[in-house]
């Protein structure tokens, strides 16, 4: 029964077959070298997150003899107030920032994606309730709401993840709802229903896989925003506690030194943050070109 449904699904979706998808991917990458570059950057960031603590030259938490030393051969990014090596700290921090971003995006994908699909598929009351919840979230300036949530839930990293997920909720709902709504009466859904699948089964096994490509684009587009948001929260002193290496808090630690000219303390973590966000934004644009050529700009 499922076989026939999946054949119909393939026909209804009329997606390009694997081979041409690959060709299209190659075309996008070669047409837009920026996308290729951002894939490479992404690999580098992932590598830092995975291996960072094992390859850095210094202990990121250990103070050294030379304090506030400018970048040199021994300390590529210089040292901070207590003589800690900034290069090691920037590299090690990648993991924490990366984990916060991935965890919050995964959480919002689960909550917002599911709520959105259900809203688009069932309509009616489900749609109204989900819509009302996301409208209420959207009624707040998002960063301000995140501050409020972290303040209310308590000042921890977990709560930064939750707050970041909540403020992204409406974005995921909107995309998932629109995509599910278009497909609710599609041929493959009717076929699945006729072959005796229940609503939830159709939702998870038939609609979700079909909107995955678009959701993936959404994920990489919001990754950058999630990192920015988490770093902003830790910049104002929420969540991550010093001396834990994290980009936002490292910039905050170096902020006081900017006016006395020690630029390297804030610049390098800030630049790392910027590059990571830049990479995710470019990657998101590239993925969108791949999945949805019509929206290419």
Q: Token pair for residue 66?
A: 């030379």
How many Cα atoms sit within 13 Å of 287 on the Cβ side?
A: 21
| Structure tokens belonging to residue 259 | 């006016």
Residues 136-165 that bind another protein (CB under 8 A): 136, 139-149, 151-155
Helix axes 187-194, 2-13, angle to 10 degrees: 170
Among 17, 19, 185, 297, binds another protein (CB under 8 A): 297
- Tell whether residue 100 is a contact of another protein (CB under 8 A): no
Instruction: Using the minimum distance from each CB to another protein, give the nearer residue, 109 or 264.
Output: 264
Draw the binding track, 234-263, toward another protein (x: CB under 8 A; -: no contact): -xxxx---------x--xx-xx--xxxx-x
Binding pattern for the stretch 29-48 against another protein, x by CB under 8 A and - elsewhere: --------------------
Residues with Cβ within 8 Å of residue 130, at least 6 apart in sequence? 115, 116, 118, 119, 173, 177
| Alpha helices in 77-123, H assignment, sequence order | 86-108, 114-122
Which one, 16 or 70, has the nearer CB to another protein?
A: 70
3-class secondary-structure state, position 113: helix
Q: Which is nearer to another protein, 11 or 151 (CB)?
A: 151
Least distance from another protein to the Cβ atom of residue 219, Å: 17
Q: Which is nearer to another protein, 14 or 152 (CB)?
A: 152
Q: Which is nearer to another protein, 202 or 251 (CB)?
A: 251
- Phi/psi for 93 (5° steps) reads -65, -25
**173 is a contact residue toward another protein (CB under 8 A):** no
Give the interface size with another protein as a residue count (CB under 8 A).
48
- 120 or 239: CB nearest another protein: 239
Residue 5 or 217: the one with the smaller Cβ distance to another protein is: 217
Distances (CA, A) of 290 to 25, 31, 60, 177, 267: 6, 11, 39, 21, 34
Residue of 102, 212, 281, 291 that binds another protein (CB under 8 A) = 281
- Please give the sequence-ordered ranges of beta strands (E in DSSP) within 25-160, or none if there are none: none
Using CB under 8 A as the binding rule, whether residue 125 contacts another protein is answered as no
Give the C-alpha distances (Å, rounded to integers) separating 268 from 85, 188, 224, 265, 271. 11, 52, 18, 7, 5
| Contact between 231 and another protein per CB under 8 A | yes
Please state the closest distance from residue 56 (CB atom) to another protein, in A. Answer: 22
As a whole number of angstroms, the distance between CA 290 and CA 213 comes to: 9
Q: Looking at the DSSP assignment, which residues form a beta bridge with residue 85?
A: 79
List of residues contacting another protein (CB under 8 A): 132, 135-136, 139-149, 151-155, 224, 228, 231-232, 235-238, 248, 251-252, 254-255, 258-261, 263, 266-267, 270-271, 273-274, 277-278, 281-282, 297
């Amino acid at each position: 029964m499922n076989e026939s449904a999946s054949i119909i699904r393939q026909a209804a979706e009329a997606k390009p077959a694997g081979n041409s998808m690959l060709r299209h991917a190659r075309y996008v990458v070669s047409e837009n070298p920026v996308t290729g570059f951002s894939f490479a950057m992404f690999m580098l960031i992932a590598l830092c997150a995975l291996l960072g603590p094992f390859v850095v030259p210094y202990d990121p938490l250990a103070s050294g003899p030379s304090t506030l030393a400018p970048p040199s051969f021994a300390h590529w990014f210089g040292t901070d107030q207590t003589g800690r090596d900034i290069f090691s700290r920037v590299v090690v921090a990648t993991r924490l920032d990366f984990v916060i971003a991935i965890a919050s995006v995964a959480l919002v994908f689960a909550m917002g994606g599911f709520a959105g699909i259900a809203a688009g598929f069932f309509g009616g009351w489900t749609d109204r309730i989900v819509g009302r919840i996301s409208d209420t979230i959207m009624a707040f300036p998002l960063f301000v709401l995140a501050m409020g949530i972290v303040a209310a839930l308590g000042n921890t990293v977990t709560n930064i993840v939750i707050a970041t997920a909540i403020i992204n909720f409406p974005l995921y709902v909107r995309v998932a709802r629109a995509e599910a709504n278009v497909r609710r009466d599609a041929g493959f859904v009717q076929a699945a229903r006729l072959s005796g699948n229940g609503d939830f089964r159709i939702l998870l096994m038939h609609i979700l896989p079909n909107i995955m490509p678009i959701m993936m684009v959404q994920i990489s587009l919001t990754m950058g925003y999630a990192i920015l948001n988490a770093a902003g929260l830790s910049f104002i002193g929420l969540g991550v506690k010093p001396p834990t290496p994290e980009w936002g808090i490292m910039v905050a630690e170096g902020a006081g030194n900017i006016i006395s000219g020690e630029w390297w303390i804030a610049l390098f973590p800030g630049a790392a943050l910027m590059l990571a966000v830049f990479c995710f934004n470019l990657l998101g644009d590239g993925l969108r070109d791949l999945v949805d050529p019509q929206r290419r700009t």
